[in-house]
Structure 1
Amino acid sequence: MSAQNHSSVSEFILIGFSTFPQQLLPIFFLLFLLMYLFTLLGNLLIMATIWRERSLHTPMYLFLCALSISEIFYTFAIIPRMLANLLSTHPTIAFMACVSQMFFSFMFGFTHSFLLTVMGYDRYVAICHPLRYNVLMSPQSCACLVVLSWAGGSVMGMVVTTAIFNLNFCGPNKVHHFFCHVPPLVKLACGDNVSIVAKGVGLVCITALLGCFLLILLSYAFIVATILKIPSVEGRHKAFSTCASHLIVVVVHYGFASVIYLKPKGPHSLEGDTLMGTTYTVLTPFLSPIIFSLRNKELKNSLNKTFLSKLFPSHS
């Protein structure tokens, strides 16, 4: 990227965990490593189950498979380096590696949000327009929605990364975070246009996230109105159960995102910012496969049938 040509900084020092007691770092390393491995395993199991079970070859599970892929790539962009830096005495990241990390973290992070929005639309069509479901959610339409989600994530990643790394970095290189995130990098930039770029990037990100969230809320407003018209309690419960896992993941995803991106301005401790950052980068991806596998009865049964019954035949 051309930004490196007018920046005197060749690497950044990631000091997110530097203020924690040294004896805690191996504990953090083990905890985050186990959570990361569980996240990978959970998402791979979901993808493999959907691939093997023909009964799951439906739009809802296609979107869930795409969501698992984006989650694997998102965590891969951040967590391995974070783990390496936890055990390093000099946690650094090269300039271009920082550029790549920011691009991929924003790309897959926004892809995740767009896919959650698409999944909300899928549930809206299934419950509010069941007779038109096969037409509106045809294989071509589903593939198009997935491609658009990934393309949208790529555009967001490119916009944010280009805007940030076209700033000048001419002095301090200590990033007050454990990965290349926008707010701590903006604080290191110099020049007259830093505040304008920071506000512009913030506005673009919040608008995209808020737009996705409002579309999901709108989908669920129609879904709830339709479910309440179903005469039987069993029918209402069955209709809502198909949305439960998606709704919980949306609440977790946007709940932690709002804590990170909408926190009030003011003095914050580095330890507090670091721990809040891990909730979104480590904890949210960790919880997602658990929620989908436990709250989705059809997926849960398929997981048991496809894998768990073979691993533990006595409990099948």
Structure 2
Amino acid sequence: MKKTAVIWFTSAGAELAERVGHLPELDILEYRREAKPAKDFVREAFSQCDQILFISAVGIAVRLIAPYIRSKAVDPAVVVMDDAGRYVVSLLSGHLGGANELTRYLSAHLGAQAIITTSTDVHGVFAVDVWSQKAGCVIGEVPRIKWISSALLEGTSVGFVSDYPVSGLPECLRESDGELGICVSLDEWKSPFPRTLHIIPHILSVGVGCRKQLDSAVFENTVLEIFRGHRISLRGVKSIASIDIKREEPCIQRFCQKYGIPFLTFRAEDLSQVAGEFTPSDFVKKTVGVENVCERSAVLGLAEKGSLLIKKQARNGVTVAVACENWRCVF
């Protein structure tokens, strides 16, 4: 469920907010005028919520959100409804933030007319940012989205390259060379087109181990060095995993916090049950009860729905292994 802030200023708006609060699929944070000024509520909502719904005039919403707008990569969805519930307007972060989707959702459930002005939606053109999000991918260079959208809106086909099996490729994308194109790959340094938009599948689990109280900089630099050496983007990582005795290891915690990656830990008994061939270590077996931590953790981090992409790498007191989901590029 997406955390959704709702802010209103009139009694009619309060009634509409109550209706919104009863809708499924929304985790509502409702504005209370007696608790804090609207500007403070909006500032907090911008950093804490996925979506913000204003039940007000568009102008009020614009003035309140203006100081906090950063980029389409991080801004929440912002949608505005009039307090009579006649219109619902997608105002900010239509695609990546999901404002267009929220607008359609509110329109369908409340009977308001949806107002969406995004060109790709208006003209029914393929939207690479919408597709990448639904496909579970990360956009490498958000400002380059407009390269793709502008070309498609002008009727120009766009090149497409994928390191993964493709099904349902839209006619507007062609698997050939050209000036401009999309590259679906974990290798964000690979540029098959002079103007390339990289789409990075979010499909990796990284299993790690390390010496106790290892310096955080050593851990970080070692992991990054291994990723660069294998030409794999850290943005493809969905989780980092290890054995439960490493749950409080500072260097791993700091790395995960810095890069916004969830940290999973597993019991030795669970790791030992993971199917596959792994690099054994008698020392590790005697120390923690299972003969391999990083490889088994990487695979278990994907609920065993993938396979090892990088086997155990050991250096500087750090062990790293990477597992990859079984993934297809589906449109």
TM-score (norm 1): 0.28
The answer to which structure, 1 or 2, has the higher relative contact order (CA under 8 A, 6+ apart) is 1
Instruction: Point out the structure with the larger helix share.
Output: 1
| Rg larger in structure | 2
Larger strand proportion of the pair: 2
